[in-house]
Chains A and B, each alone.
Chain A
Amino acid sequence: MTAKVVAATGNEAVANALRQVNPDVSAAYPITPATDIMQRFTSFVSDGKVKTEMILVESEHSAMSGCIGASAAGGRVMTATSSQGLALMWEELFIASGTRLPIVMALVNRALSAPLNIHGDHSDGMGARDCGWIQLWSENAQEAYDNTIQAFRIAEHMDIRLPVMVCLDGFIISHSIERIEYIDDDAVSKLVGEYKQLNPLLDLEHPVSYGPLILPDYYMEYRKAHAEVMSKVPGIVLDVAKDFEKISGRKYGLFEEYRLDDAEIGLVILNSAAGTSKDVIDSFREKGIKAGLLKPRLFRPFPYDEIGNALKHLKAICVLDRADAFGGSYGPLFIDIAASLYPHKNGPALINKIYGLGGRDYMPSHAELVLNELVEIAKTGKVKMIKEYIAVRE
């Protein structure tokens, strides 16, 4: 196991993972804050450090369309985007997954318009949560790098063949410099392996038709098959994580549990804000308060049973959402956590806080306020308000 320790941004780390994976084709379009990934990657192309053929398209819709064509043709394909770019791809996201094409995409999470905002928030990824892709979320640059490498193995697994989105927080992670351990180039390429074709369009001996019309007689069977394939994903994610651990020494699960075993109160939170939250949990532990945290990694498909079992013993939980699901509903993460706890009738009390939209800072003081509220709920069993925006002007 050889590792190289560097100081790099999240985008730089993802770009480096993509260089190491060395895809056959990439179609991409610039958008803040993901631009930097493809900028760095295209310099690898220009310097002959990768074999990748670039398609520098005129929109994100064409980026994903090009990725779909390239992937169907029969090779390894990746791209990166953010926010409006993902929104413009929306139609194509479903076609990529419905056609079962193993495309890997870095999603640098950013708020959606209007109002226009370029900063970190999860509205983009949450908007695409039901599009049939696998989603891996990353707390920091190291996880974004590690997830990107693993994403190719997961996507291209012969039992799955599904596209994977690797999510990392815009600016907070994409543009901040952190300590990262890079794995040796050879080890990455061995782990990812040779691309295995499945019904490639370019096979002239066996001509295939991609993208048929399927009417009510069979459409539903195709959708059910997709749902069934999704159910195989968690097992494969864990298998790939085991292989990844061998070359990196870093352990990955479907989610991370932090001081959760004996916890009475807990936070559930995605991506970068989990780091801040863990520090605050440590300080509560020092005060003798049994606090813990759960950070989902595999968000789609959502491991309901496993997460429900990991949280059921708590007295009170706050789910923090960096996106809202408008319509009088709760945040998207909250809805899934509530669903995962539904089978556990005497499970924890749940509250939901919406935080950090459009890049609003999530501070240790916010985690403290939430944890203090949970202490109170655990003590009294009373929830004053289930859903609330925090760190916001009234």
Chain B
Amino acid sequence: MATPLTLKELSKKEILLTSGHRMCSGCGAPIIVKMVLLASDYPIVAANATGCLEVSTCISDYTAWKIPWIHNAFENAAATLSGVETMYRSLKKQGKIDKDIKFIAFGGDGGTYDIGLQSLSGAMERGHDMLYVCYDNGAYMNTGIQRSSATPYGADTTTCPAGSVIQGKPQPRKNLTKIMAAHDIPYTAQASPSHWMDLVKKVKKALEIKGPKFMNILSPCNRGWRSKTDDAIQLSKLAVETCYWPLYEIENGVSKVTFKPKEKKPLVDFLKPQGRFKHLFAPENENMLKNFQEMVDKEWGSLLKASGTE
């Protein structure tokens, strides 16, 4: 029987990513992984791209994973899990496995938006029955905060530092959720750990759908965002309320905004607590803040339009 969606019931379930792993305190990624795994009433086999989550959760001879887990390399969590899922289908067809197993890949934005995009695109196109979860913290945090194509406009990173001539990342971030939806896969969604019910519901829905699914989940990183170690949930909440990180899903081509803030907060509310945007608040960069707000408004507007909730 499916677990009722209440904190009380979910808290009774076994945590499948144990404590004692070596992720930084205040990191969003393990919170997300725990929520995703809690959402499932099926046994899960997981794949993990190289990155923070991977290097910190399985340092021989220890593993934080209570489920079968495979790490191969940086760019190929999707292709690796394709192999696992295909072997499962082969053995099931031969009567060598009888259980229903669900397959989930976890990758950071570097391993998903950038180096792993081809592998992900291929796996989605081939229609493997898997859920790919990107925990998007907006830079290569594991190697020391280098810019990725998920890094937001204007952000200061170690490879696009805010200097006297260039003010952080000149380009806006890649809209990967839309790119994945353009694969015409049955389910694509964006979620945030601040809205746990929304996140868990989306994972549950995704796991009930046969075929390839993609979820992009915002994952605050206090090291890279230059924020406090206890504000991951607060920041992800602000990201949603400013519509920087809209919560929505696209199911069989139908878009739906799953959370519409009562009052859309100004983007600066999300930017201000983060040191990576500090330079944007200098008087000479006022225009950048304006540009950034316009980008967010445009994306939010088009989402509302697409979901018929204008």
Contacts and interface: CB of A to CB of B under 8 A. Distances in A.
A58 B78 CA distance: 12
25 contacts: A25-B83, A51-B90, A57-B82, A58-B121, A59-B118, A59-B122, A61-B75, A61-B79, A62-B118, A65-B82, A66-B82, A66-B86, A69-B86, A73-B87, A73-B91, A75-B87, A77-B87, A209-B58, A209-B68, A210-B72, A212-B63, A213-B58, A213-B59, A214-B60, A215-B59
B71 interface: yes
Given A61-B75, A210-B69, A53 B122 contact: no
Contacts of A202: 45, 68, 84, 87-88, 91, 97, 101
Nearest to A53: B90
9 smallest CB-CB distances across A and B, nearest first, come from: A69-B83, A211-B71, A58-B122, A73-B87, A70-B83, A65-B79, A62-B79, A66-B83, A65-B76
Contact of A25 (B43, B86, B101, B121): B86
A266 to B, nearest CB: 43
Given A51-B94, A201-B45, A202-B88, A65 B119 contact: yes
Interface of A: 24-25, 27, 51-53, 55-59, 61-62, 65-75, 77, 91-92, 95, 201-204, 207-215, 218
Contacts of B70: 69, 72, 201, 209-211
A207 B91 contact: no
Contacts of B90: 24-25, 51-53, 70, 75
Interface string B87-103: 11111011001010100
Interface of B: 43, 45, 47-48, 54-55, 58-61, 63, 65-73, 75-76, 79-91, 93-94, 97, 99, 101, 118-119, 121-122, 125-126
A208 B71 CA distance: 11
Contacts of B126: 55-57
- Main secondary structure, interface of A, reads mixed
A213 B79 CA distance: 20
A68 B73 CA distance: 11
Given A27-B83, A211-B48, A212-B60, 15 more contacts: A24-B90, A62-B79, A65-B79, A66-B80, A70-B87, A72-B70, A72-B83, A92-B72, A203-B68, A209-B71, A210-B70, A212-B61, A213-B58, A213-B59, A215-B59
Nearest to B57: A209
A163 B71 CA distance: 18
Nearest to A54: B86
B118 A212 contact: no
A146 B176 CA distance: 48
A212 B82 contact: no
B67 A207 contact: yes
B69 A55 contact: no
Contacts of A214: 59-60
Nearest to B71: A211
A95 B67 CA distance: 21
Contacts of A209: 58, 63, 65, 68-71
Given A52-B90, A62-B119, A211 B72 contact: yes
A212 B59 contact: yes
Contacts of B121: 58
A18 B45 CA distance: 29
Nearest to B75: A61
A25 B47 CA distance: 18
Contact of A204 (B68, B86, B91): B68
A68 B93 contact: no
A264 B75 CA distance: 53
Given A24-B87, A55-B126, A212 B58 contact: yes
Contacts of A55: 82-83, 86, 126
A92 B58 contact: no
B60 A74 contact: no
Given A53-B86, A207-B67, A213-B55, A69 B91 contact: no
A61 B68 contact: no
A387 B55 CA distance: 47
Contacts of B87: 24-25, 53, 69-71, 73-75, 77, 202
* Residue among B80, B87, B97 with most chain A CB within 10 A: B87
* Residue among B45, B48, B70, B75 with most chain A CB within 10 A: B70
A204 B122 contact: no
A69 B69 contact: no
* Residue among A56, A65, A72, A204 with most chain B CB within 10 A: A65
B73 A95 contact: yes
Contact of B83 (A51, A73, A207): A73
A57 B80 CA distance: 11
A92 B76 contact: yes
Nearest to A74: B87
B83 A65 contact: yes
Nearest to A52: B90
B45 to A, nearest CB: 6
A152 to B, nearest CB: 16
Contacts of B65: 207, 209
A148 to B, nearest CB: 20
A62 B94 contact: no
Contacts of B82: 27, 55, 57, 62, 65-66, 69
Contacts of B97: 202
